Amino acid sequence: MAVHIDACQYKIMNISKTTCCAPLLSGGLTPDEAVNLAAIFRVLGEPARLQMLSLIATQPNQEVCACELAAPLGLAQPTVSHHLKVMHQAGLLERERRGTWIYYRILPEKLAMLRTSLA
Amino acid sequence: MAVHIDACQYKIMNISKTTCCAPLLSGGLTPDEAVNLAAIFRVLGEPARLQMLSLIATQPNQEVCACELAAPLGLAQPTVSHHLKVMHQAGLLERERRGTWIYYRILPEKLAMLRTSLA
DNA sequence: TCCTTATATTGATGATAGTCTATATTAAGC
DNA sequence: GCTTAATATAGACTATCATCAATATAAGGA
């Protein structure tokens, strides 16, 4: 059975593999780098996802169970699952299964990489 | 005659006015802040726009004439005009008319603000 | 095995937005 | 005023994507 991956997801999956990124203001951004970098910014270009990151950051253990996100965000469970998947594939979150639950943590290196890309 | 402004543009226009932004990882991002911050990231979530910024940064005077962008990017003139408008409204670019031509410069403060928002 | 709960996937829908052609506007020079 | 060149806008088309209800899968306990 073939796994279906659309163009956008494939693009996002490649992000984690790329070392990325020539600082924007230093110039010389290649078209490929632009595509990869833009894909990550597009992931952040969604209020619900930013609030998820903020919520995770406020937790004492810096992690959150997926089941805890739907209520404060006012979103349906599949929507939360979708956003978590997008951010995980973009390399912004790491996930760990503990029993029935799945916990997500922020990968600060990815955010640091974005910060330098804006320098 | 009424000026037509759609919801997205209105959101973007508000960005420049907002002081913004509680650092993401410090938590406590309000829904409004999330909307404003996401709107700016969405502006950066477009390869063509990132390449425009990169192109401007490589210029000796740190500025570029709108007329010089279409060719290297392989885009039509109205498309370039659209992207420049979006970035200008988002507070990423400043514009100066000199005769028939319009020159754009990057506003580094806005990028700095984004960097801190990722901290 | 069955039941319950958590998470993921599917498929549909509506909204957003990037792109183009065609046209309008603006500015400068004659 | 007229002409030319630069920029902006309008409108159409398309692709992407956020969202949901419905359903499937995964994991643990009785």
Q: Of the ranges A10-24, A34-48, B20-34, which is most confident?
A: A34-48
At residue A11 the predicted structure's pLDDT band, cuts being 50, 70 and 90, is very low
> What amino acid is encoded at B111 in this protein?
L
B64's tokens: 């570029």
Q: What is the predicted pLDDT for the residue at B3?
A: 36
Give the Cβ contact number of residue B7 at 10 Å: 7
B73: nearest nucleotide, CA–C1' criterion: C19
Half-sphere exposure of A76 (CA within 13 A, CB side): 3
Identify the CATH number of the domain defined by range A7-117. 1.10.10.10
The Cα B4–Cα A108 span in angstroms is: 41
Which of A28, A45, A57 shows the shortest C-beta gap to B58? A28
Subunit contact A34:B47, Cβ cutoff 8 A: yes
At residue A13 the predicted structure's pLDDT band, cuts being 50, 70 and 90, is very low
The Cα A88–Cα B17 span in angstroms is: 32
Q: Quote the ipTM score.
A: 0.88
B82-95 residue pLDDT tens: 999 999 999 999 99
Average pLDDT, chain A: 86
At residue A42 the predicted structure's pLDDT band, cuts being 50, 70 and 90, is very high
Q: Which CATH architecture has domain B7-18+28-117?
A: Orthogonal Bundle (1.10)
